[in-house]
Structure 1
Amino acid sequence: MKALLIVVIVLSAFVTGLSQGVAGSGVTPEMRAEANKYYTTSDWTNAVAAYEKIVKLEPANPNANYRLGLSFLNLNKTTEAQTHLEKAMTASPNPIFALGLARAYARAGNKTKAFEALDKSTKAGGIAPETLTAEKDFAQWKDDAGFKDLVAKSDMAVNPCKASPEFRQFDFWIGEWDVKNPQGVPAGSSSIQLILGQCIIFENWSSGGGSNGKSFNLYDANDKKWHQTYVDDKGTFTHYVGGLINGEMVITADTFVGGKKTLAKMTFSKLPNGDVRQHGENSTDEGKTWTTSFDLIYSRKK
């Protein structure tokens, strides 16, 4: 998500820069439209000519310098590409501009400068690791330890939840499960998925009776607690809050059962054989005493 937002921001900056630019610079909307047309149709020679006119009048325009730099790069003029991509990066540091600069240095065979630019990209928010590993300009370093380290750092920047052990506390619940009660009677099935940059654990529950429910589970770095928001096809909505206690995920919620305020608790425990127990309990005396509401065993599908 973070990487997507960065791309959206940069693209928005392009639109703004191309349509507005610097007031009174002498660059007309027609000049910007023409340059944009050449760029988006990969007419690199004419794109260079068009953006050179804009940059001459607006030398500090980061978007124009970026596109001019990439146009030069696509013509394999790496020196000119480096010059304008450096200007773009200086004026508006962001991972997209840094990636372009790294490509220009890589194309010129300057590994040190290319890695410096990739490091700047990581510090500015990162680029999706699959983008880096798929980039032809970096293919020469696919087995390089330094490049692999930069890819890993960029992955952590783009997907910060991977870097935090707290976000991984509930991973033992992830998987495809057959669900039974302690007596072995089938109760349903559940698909527990890791989504959204590994930040969210997404539950898809189907009971043996045909009802369905879903939940989003996430660790909130602000209050340092786990939150589960559960909804189902009966209109049930429950928000649980809790955390890891002695290796078990324990979450509670204020609910109403039969019109009476009830404290609900769920405890998820990883069993020695890899199964997961989900034990539901209710309390009507603010947690002094508890009664079991359900008891389920999750076994991985075979």
Structure 2
Amino acid sequence: MSVLKRIRGVSYGIAMICAVPAMAQTESEPTPPPSPQAPPSCEADAYRSFDFWVGEWEVRTPQGQLAGTNSIQPINNGCALLERYSQGGNPAGQSYNFYDHVRGTWTQLWLSRGVIIRMEGPAIEEGTLTLDGTITYANQDAPRPFRGRWTARDDGSVLQEFWERDPETGEWGNWFTGIYTRTD
């Protein structure tokens, strides 16, 4: 065998030996994905503007009749509130409430049997939150305009008021008024 053939063969063999570990390393040790960014904090004052509603509550009508109980708790590291409303000890519905810092609005999505409420709006002033949106009933074809307002009161209670607009008359009517008293 000529010297040139031997050198070529050795060179080829060395190249193959060097390539195998590099290929094996690529297959057995994938490049780790980039580290995810830490989730943004929800510490800004706007995220706290609805905290007056956090707690365990007994809900009564303005006439003093027990309407139900409500539990409002922070979720997702304080970035949202979860409401769980019960009547007679039975779950009656729940809502998700969150602040969208890009849009500068609070949003509530309420779900219960046969009813979906979607509302949003900015915190108008400290201790009051007013949201506008729609209510959709499972037995109707179109949503109706809907409005909700929560007001923190000096005695520690919260006044919750909801109005629905009649599609035929265009007038706003009371849908529900509740006075929240703490039980926690």
Instruction: Give the TM-score range, shorter chain.
Output: 0.7 to 0.9
The number of residue pairs the alignment matches comes to 163
Equivalent residue, structure 2, for 1:240: 119
Aligned-partner Cα distance in 1 for 2:26–2:163: 68
2:106 to 206, 226, 231: 226
- Offset, 1:204: 0.4
Matches within 5 A, 1:46-57: none
- Offset, 1:244: 1.4
Structure of greater relative contact order (alpha carbons < 8 Å, 6+ residues apart): 2
Gaps of 5+ in 1: 1-22, 34-60, 64-91, 96-123, 126-157
Does residue 26 of structure 1 match 2:22? yes
Gaps of 5+ in 2: 1-18
| Overall identity of the aligned pairs, in % | 28
Please provide the CA RMSD for this pair: 3.3
Q: TM-score, normalised by structure 2?
A: 0.73
Q: Which amino acid aligns with 1:295?
A: T
Matches within 5 A, 1:31-46: 32=28
- Offset, 1:238: 1.6
Q: TM-score, normalised by structure 1?
A: 0.47
Matches within 5 A, 1:129-168: 158=39, 160-162=41-43, 164-168=44-48
Note if contact 1:179-1:188 (Cα within 8 Å) is conserved in structure 2: yes
- Offset, 1:263: 1.7
* Higher helix fraction (1 or 2): 1
Aligned-partner Cα distance in 1 for 2:129–2:175: 17
Distance 1:249 1:93, change over 3 A: same
Does residue 191 of structure 1 match 2:71? yes
Which of these two proteins has the greater Rg computed from alpha carbons?
A: 2
Aligned-partner Cα distance in 2 for 1:253–1:178: 26
Matches within 5 A, 1:118-137: 125=38
Distance 1:291 1:210, change over 3 A: same
Does residue 280 of structure 1 match 2:162? yes
Q: Which amino acid aligns with 1:273?
A: D
1:179 to 46, 52, 59: 59
- Offset, 1:261: 5.6
